[in-house]
Amino acid sequence: MKRAIQATVLCVVLLFSVAVIARQSPEDFKNTTPEQRAQVQTNLMKSKLQLTDDQTTKVAAINLKYAKQMEPVIKGDGGKMAKFKQAKKINESKEAELKTVFTEEQFASYEKGKEEMKQEVMKKIKEKRQ
């Protein structure tokens, strides 16, 4: 049970970091480049959070930096727990940087979207088990 929860959290972290691409199959997701994932994230954040041009430039750089750091986690062969820990650490650093760029309202909206995605993933996991 604990492993299932950890795997779920890893999925949420990875799925949220590339929300649009995550709707594709896992193989399609693995075949995307960090640049593609960063661009999708930036476009999504720009539209959902109503970023200014200056914010968009900064967010694009942050997304690319962390998409590159996430690459070995996504494509690596390590165990799920090790991947989970790596992804969580990378995501925490990314969110700390994003928080310096977003307004309080934007960051709250970002957090809300992340929670909604987590609930969606949990719902899909429950549906698969039935």
Tens of pLDDT, residues 17-50: 544 444 545 556 678 999 999 999 999 999 999 9
Mean of pLDDT over the chain: 84
* pLDDT tens per residue, range 56-78: 999 999 999 999 999 999 888 88
Question: Minimal CA–CA distance to 109: which of 117, 54, 89?
Answer: 117
At residue 30, the pLDDT reads 74
User: What does pTM read for this prediction?
Assistant: 0.77
Distance CA 24, CA 37 (A): 12
Residue ranges covered by each domain of the chain: 2-129
| Average of per-residue pLDDT across 82-87 | 90
